[in-house]
Chain A
């Protein structure tokens, strides 16, 4: 499996990372190196093996349905790069 420059462009958009046009080709090379290397896993026989999702062998804990955090909008908004009143603001989105 080999990633093309186009694949990198697509993944970069999926990840919302602007990779400059001239970096796409070298990046494809770097990623192919890594992908090629991890592909050695294909040698391992994993028939009938369950994929691990967590090393913790306990059940998920559940919390009581009570309100523990309310009206902390000052904390929520404290680091906002842009906002208005108690809204966050982003460039206009057209749906």
Chain B
């Protein structure tokens, strides 16, 4: 295939099975593409040797009839938040820029065991804190998409910015992401990809560098909904090493990817209409509802009254957990150490130099909202609001099976925009955060292009552990939208 962006997991698996290509051949092609597109800055660490080795192993398995399944031999990119044994893992932070784990995260290990070929570790916002992939110690990531008639560099969204740039740019067939408040779905929307955040607890968090423990979930970034189902199948499952891992078996996600939505009840939440939202997004959203109606679904309004408070609640809970989770980066056992005359000085200098500005801001906010005298007013209050948000969804899902919303309030924007005001940046996640707070599965599916020729995504949310419903609805939406556009300049 001349255009690497034509490959999907499904088509690659098919070609490998038929012997039309080999994993080594595919892998070499993607390694070349990665080398030719370093300007995207999608990868922090490339692992071509390891990739060729695993590809050769995969081909050998296939030759002896031991191929493992649809991921076997498929070249993918790994967000650099998953610890990979013997391969540097940085979380895009200076404080971990020399850290080489001696263990493999559950998710990356499962993908490895499924035969996937890891091409390298992708760039992200430092410790996954950001929505534009501009806070990485290793530099910002360039969106492969450019606005029509302009040549400004756009951000890929974040925090899984390197992963989406890699897939959208044809540097990998699929990639892993992590989503705390929208870090899979929003960048997927910015780059015309499918991004899926499963139910909290579906994917083990063991070995994934923590941002906010009660929210973090791994998920796939792919070109198609079917690919998302295939890849999630390989990533998810109960893990006794993670106390919050769901102790239940996985259904067959791929077989859920039918487009039959007859009778499916699709909810449209009033509260997701924002004044500041571009008309095109509202239009696409309406269009999405029309598509569902056209396919025989029942579309009706629902109300999620506490939506407005999701983002502020999130910006208490997530920094609070992060401030504690990031305490382990202290220069004692691994990572950066800046020498100091006393232990405290060593800590302060190490963390002052090792953490970037946004991470520092969030750690300080987190420490503040947990501190004596403020804990009840901020942290406990936010957790109560979180309960209300979860209850809103529960009530809504008594009437509907899925909820349809835009994924993000804007298309990809230029680097430099929204930079001086953290809150303006936080608003990127206004539509994705509520589902995160409630632990619900959600998916972003590319719906169309805006006036500048930039992709826009639509989000579907469903009940806890109902990923099958989500894949069905998303497949239908994907078929209706028939999104075939490609970024013009990267090939």
A residues contacting B by CB (< 8 A) are: 1, 3, 7-8, 11-20, 27, 30-31, 33-35, 37-44, 46, 49-56, 58, 60-61, 63, 72, 75-76, 78-82, 88, 90-93
Which chain A residues lie closer than 8 Å to B315 at the CB level?
34, 37-38
Across the interface, name the chain A residue whose C-beta is closest to B380: A51
The answer, yes or no, to whether B489 is at the interface (CB within 8 Å) is no
The answer, yes or no, to whether B333 is at the interface (CB within 8 Å) is yes
A79 and B335 contact, Cβ closer than 8 Å, known pairs A34-B422, A49-B387: yes
CB-CB contacts of B188-201 with A at 8 A, as 1s and 0s? 00000000000011
A44 and B385 contact, Cβ closer than 8 Å, known pairs A16-B330, A18-B351, A79-B335: yes
A79 and B348 contact, Cβ closer than 8 Å, known pairs A11-B371, A93-B343: no
Complex alpha-carbon distance, A72 and B195, angstroms? 38
Q: CB distance B364 to A80 under 8 Å?
A: no
Which chain A residues lie closer than 8 Å to B368 at the CB level?
3, 7, 11, 31, 35
Stretch of B30-38, B129-137, B240-248 that contacts chain A: B240-248
Known: A31-B361, A55-B214, A61-B240. 19 other contacts (CB 8 A): A12-B364, A15-B327, A17-B351, A17-B360, A27-B361, A31-B368, A34-B361, A37-B423, A38-B316, A40-B309, A44-B309, A49-B384, A55-B439, A56-B244, A56-B439, A61-B243, A61-B247, A75-B103, A93-B343
Which chain B residues lie closer than 8 Å to A27 at the CB level?
361, 364
Q: CB distance B331 to A50 under 8 Å?
A: no
Across the interface, name the chain B residue whose C-beta is closest to A72: B102
Q: CB distance A50 to B384 under 8 Å?
A: yes
The answer, yes or no, to whether B294 is at the interface (CB within 8 Å) is no
Which chain A residues lie closer than 8 Å to B331 at the CB level?
81
Which of A17, A20, A30, A88 interacts with B332 by CB under 8 Å?
A88
Complex alpha-carbon distance, A19 and B352, angstroms? 7
Which chain A residues lie closer than 8 Å to B312 at the CB level?
37-41
Which chain A residues lie closer than 8 Å to B437 at the CB level?
55
Complex alpha-carbon distance, A85 and B200, angstroms? 42
The answer, yes or no, to whether B68 is at the interface (CB within 8 Å) is no
15 A-B interface contacts by CB (under 8 A): A16-B348, A17-B348, A19-B352, A34-B423, A38-B315, A38-B378, A40-B312, A46-B381, A46-B388, A49-B387, A51-B384, A58-B247, A81-B337, A91-B346, A93-B342
Which chain A residues lie closer than 8 Å to B273 at the CB level?
none
CB-CB contacts of B214-245 with A at 8 A, as 1s and 0s? 10000000000000000000000000100110
Q: CB distance B344 to A90 under 8 Å?
A: no
B residues contacting A by CB (< 8 A) are: 98-100, 102-103, 200-201, 214, 240, 243-244, 246-247, 306, 309, 312-313, 315-316, 323, 327, 330-337, 339-349, 351-353, 355, 360-361, 363-365, 367-369, 371, 374, 377-378, 380-388, 390, 421-423, 437-439, 464
Q: CB distance B247 to A17 under 8 Å?
A: no
Complex alpha-carbon distance, A90 and B367, angstroms? 24
**Interface-central residue, B306, B346, B360, B377, by most chain A CB under 10 Å:** B360
Which chain A residues lie closer than 8 Å to B423 at the CB level?
33-34, 37
Q: CB distance B348 to A54 under 8 Å?
A: no
Complex alpha-carbon distance, A42 and B365, angstroms? 17
Across the interface, name the chain B residue whose C-beta is closest to A62: B243
Complex alpha-carbon distance, A46 and B201, angstroms? 27
Complex alpha-carbon distance, A34 and B103, angstroms? 37
Which chain A residues lie closer than 8 Å to B309 at the CB level?
40-41, 43-44
Which of A15, A20, A42, A46 interacts with B363 by CB under 8 Å?
A15
Which chain B residues lie closer than 8 Å to A55 at the CB level?
200-201, 214, 390, 437-439, 464
Which of A3, A49, A80, A91 interacts with B345 by CB under 8 Å?
A91
Q: CB distance A81 to B348 under 8 Å?
A: no
Complex alpha-carbon distance, A61 and B200, angstroms? 16
Minimum CB–CB distance for B221 against chain A, Å: 23
Minimum CB–CB distance for A49 against chain B, Å: 4
Q: CB distance B371 to A14 under 8 Å?
A: yes
Across the interface, name the chain A residue whose C-beta is closest to B440: A55
A81 and B103 contact, Cβ closer than 8 Å, known pairs A42-B381, A50-B387: no
Q: CB distance B388 to A49 under 8 Å?
A: yes
Minimum CB–CB distance for A67 against chain B, Å: 15
Complex alpha-carbon distance, A90 and B347, angstroms? 10
Complex alpha-carbon distance, A90 and B360, angstroms? 23
**Interface-central residue, A15, A27, A92, A93, by most chain B CB under 10 Å:** A15
Minimum CB–CB distance for B321 against chain A, Å: 11
A41 and B364 contact, Cβ closer than 8 Å, known pairs A58-B246, A61-B247: no
